Amino acid sequence: MTLEGDSLAPALGDKKKNDLKQVLEASLNRFNDDFVRLSYIESYLNGDQDPPYMPKGASREYKAILDQSCMNFLPLIVDAVAQQLYVEGYRKPDSPDDDKCWEYWRRNSLDAWQHSAHRDALSYGYSYITVLPGDKAPVIKPVSPLSMAALYNDPIHDEWPQWAMQHSIDYSTGKKRSRVKLLDDENVYTYVGDYIHTFTNLDSFELKGIEKHGLGVCPVVRMRNRLTTSPNVPVRGEVEPLIVTQDRINSYTLSESMIVHFASWKQKWIAGIELPEDFTDPDTGITVSAAPDAAVNRLWSTEDPSTKFGEFSESDVTKVLAAIEATVKKMSSVSQVPPVYLLGDIVQLSAEALAASEAGLQRKVQEKRTIFGEAWAQTMRLAAVADDGKGELDDLFDNRIVWRDTEARSLASTVDALGKLTQMLQVPPEALWERVPGVTSSDVAAWKELAKEADSLGNMLGMLQDQAATAGQAAVPSQKGQDNAKAGTNVPGKASTAKAGYGTPSDRKDYHR
């Protein structure tokens, strides 16, 4: 049920309106505080980072080099983990097939949108997922923490928030304004007011609509990057702790660029000569330096025999490159992302060495799957309630989220190991299909259908063969000495009696005795 316009007045009393205003104010304050910090993190992910130190009065050439001195590794830190997080099933503990609730996942295109929830949680420390009733299926949408704030009674252990606020931009009046949705355990309240990121004018917000969802809880699921029970430790993503290291890499990159641009060749010097003064061109007003200018097509010469010439050696850039590489390796060890992911070094590694280099990353991925999997399971339980309104949140508590196996392994060695499991431990082959690298749940389902069809065809051919054998046996009459022959009686030249059974007829005339 949706209320708009004049119908809002009788639906809400003055006390309820005042309570909503207080919640709106608290939510906006919390949202603005988080928005500043999260926007700073977002700027580093997008390459808009704090520049290295630049002296006052720096030339335009220096500033141009400064703008190019950014080697952004932070998106790779997020990508290395996010690209190994892919939900591909939702099943009961004792079933190899997906639960019927998996239809909600498909209808909301979460095969694609799940990655936005994972990346936001990895980048900023947390993200949100909203679940609301829909026409054909529950509407499930991942929401960035840059667009939502949630208020919890116990921020550490509470599963559901008391209130949540989602912010978006409203252009319905031709002016940039803020559209805010407040969500509680029963309704969604829509407010429109002045744009909040310039100045928060609480009095400008007007209630525009009320929509009842009736789910009994605030329909917002929080996905956290890591769990902690300490009230003094904020929820942090993978980016924020590495910002200082990224600034150091940018500073070293600037030093490398300056050396390459200004000091990568030998510098000439001259002494014992009186230099003319600089002069200004009267036509253009440009001041021209009279000092000797070194170039590949210029030669310095003088008539004064006391003048001395010399050169300085070029600067060694390899030490700066080594410092950059060492800093990147430190970032790699802190983030548990292998250096090959960041430096791109291609070396010949054995399968054991490659597995050892990714061991830390795989442990980290398993931790994220455990934490994120609980958030998705909570989402699916709420979606089941939102579908028909008859389910309970605890009905699907035993169901599990199935993650795709993305660990880098040799296909041949993996299939060989799975084959040994089947032969030596008698594990059914169908139970191991989903463990083959690169195989999706859709592939497994298709294989099972093909196996059923093959079994049906085999059974049908067997029945036809049995019927044909039975029909052939009935059509051929019994013959003496052939079908009814008994062992030991088919002796050539010896008569077979009725007591001995029918055997090969003898040449003797008294074989009927």
Query: pLDDT by residue (tens digit) across 190-249?
Result: 999 999 887 878 889 999 999 999 899 999 999 999 998 888 877 899 999 999 999 999
Euclidean distance between the first and final Cα of the chain, in Å? 103
User: With 90 as the cut, is the pLDDT of residue 13 above it?
Assistant: no
Length of the chain: 513
Two structure tokens written together for 7: 């119908």
Distance CA 184, CA 375 (A): 19
- pLDDT score at 474: 54
Name the pTM for this structure: 0.75
Tell whether the model's pLDDT for residue 466 goes beyond 80: no
Residue 481 is given by DSSP the state: T
- Closest CA relative to residue 77, chosen from 288, 256, 239, 278: 239
Which segment of 201-205, 271-275, 493-497 scores lowest on mean pLDDT? 493-497
Q: Please list, in sequence order, all residues whose beta carbon lies within 8 angstroms of the beta carbon of residue 468, skipping any fewer than 6 positions away.
A: none
| One-character DSSP codes across 217-263 | S--EEEEESS----TTS----SSGGGHHHHHHHHHHHHHHHHHHHHS
Tell me the pLDDT tens digit for each residue of 417-430.
777 778 777 777 77
Bridge partners of residue 286, in order along the sequence: none
- Whole-Å CA distances, 179 to 27, 182, 211, 393: 13, 10, 15, 30
Model confidence band, residue 511 (pLDDT cutoffs 50, 70, 90) = very low
- State the pLDDT at residue 493: 55
Residue from 483, 475, 481 nearest 494 by CA: 481
Q: Which has more pLDDT, 408 or 227?
A: 227
Both tokens of 171, joined, read 């252009």
Is residue 191 within 8 A of residue 24, CB to CB? The reply is yes
How far is 160 from 311, CA to CA, in rounded Å?
72
- Taking 90 as the threshold, does the pLDDT of residue 178 lie above it? yes
Position 390 confidence tier, pLDDT thresholds 50, 70, 90? low
The whole-angstrom distance between residue 498's C-alpha and the CA centroid of its chain comes to 85
Task: Collapse the DSSP code of 43 into the 3-class scheme (helix H, G, I; strand E, B; otherwise coil) and give the result.
Answer: helix
pLDDT value of residue 484 = 47
User: Where residue 157 falls among pLDDT bands split at 50, 70, 90?
Assistant: very high
Note whether 125 and 144 are within 8 A (CB). no
Mean pLDDT of 52-58: 81
Query: Of 188 and 302, which is predicted with more confidence?
Result: 188
Q: Tell me if residue 314 falls in helix, strand or coil.
A: coil
Q: Sort residue 346 into left (φ over 0), alpha (ψ -120 to 50) or beta.
A: beta
Task: Give the per-residue pLDDT at 106.
Answer: 92
Distance separating alpha carbons of residues 164 and 149, to the nearest angstrom: 6
Q: Tokens 């910090």: give the residue.
A: 37
C-alpha distances in Å from residue 137, one per residue of 166, 385, 461, 501: 21, 11, 44, 78
**Does residue 152 have a pLDDT over 80?**
yes
DSSP 146-182: TSEEEE-SSTTT-SS-SEEEEEEEE-TTSS-EEEEEE
CA distance 124 to 120: 6
Q: Is the pLDDT of residue 95 over 70?
A: yes
What is the mean predicted confidence (pLDDT) over 408-417? 67
Residue range 272-299: mean pLDDT, rounded: 73
| Number of helical (H) and strand (E) elements in the chain, helices listed first | 13, 15
DSSP alpha helix (H) spans, 306-410 = 318-335, 339-343, 351-357, 359-388
Contact 373, 401 (CB under 8 A): yes
Report helix angle 318-335 to 243-262, nearest 10. Answer: 160
The contacts found for 387-395 with CB under 8 angstroms, 24 or more apart, are 387/101, 387/104, 387/133, 387/137, 387/138, 389/133, 389/214, 393/216, 393/217
Min mean pLDDT across 216-220, 336-340, 486-490 is at 486-490
Instruction: Round to whole Å and give the CA distance between 387 and 133.
Output: 6
pLDDT (average), residues 401-418: 74
- Stated as kind and residue range, the H or E segment containing 129 is strand 126-132
Instruction: Give burial (CB, 10 Å; 0-12/13-18/19+) of 173.
Output: exposed
Predicted pLDDT at 232: 80
DSSP state of 5: G
- In 3D space, the residue among 365, 377, 378, 367 whose CA is nearest the CA of residue 405 turns out to be 365
Q: Give 56-111 as a 3 state SS string.
A: CCCCHHHHHHHHCCCCCCHHHHHHHHHCCCCEEEEECCCCCCECCCHHHHHHCCHH
Any idea what DSSP says for residue 120?
H
Does 488 score more than 90 pLDDT?
Answer: no
